[in-house]
Amino acid sequence: MRTITKYQANDGSEYNNAAAAYARDLLLVETETVMSQLGEIPEDVKSGKGWLQHKINNVNRCRKAILKLCIFYLPDYSDIFHGNPGRNSYVGRILDDNGGPLCDAWNRLCCIDDHAREHQQQYFANNGPEPDHMCIESR
């Protein structure tokens, strides 16, 4: 019999060494710090009743910061994260394959349209809000 030691990061993911778990915790904190600039999503937005109006500069700042984290944590794909990739770029596919906090952050950013309106889902960011949608909150 042998002893097996596992390390668990704050999001519940498990690793075989402490350094990998620590790196995951660091990524969680960095991603949360960046996305906290957008604040919490109101329940009415989550339920699809309307959108959350952001300031375009805040959204752009978050998007750039998340892409910088992607370059750092996923260097094999760094050429895809440079520039200003849009909602429908390969960034989403790569992050979806890797999962985790960067994927969650990018998915949220993809729900924000060109007018800085955060919708319940990316469909409305690409195609515009439904006629009965309204601005729930402005930040």
pLDDT in tens, 24-83: 999 999 999 999 999 999 999 999 999 999 999 999 999 999 999 999 999 998 888 887
Minimal CA–CA distance to 37: which of 16, 57, 10? 57
**More reliable by pLDDT, 36 or 3:** 36
Q: Label residue 137 exposed, middle or buried (CB < 10 Å: 0-12, 13-18, 19+).
A: middle
Minimal CA–CA distance to 91: which of 101, 80, 82? 80
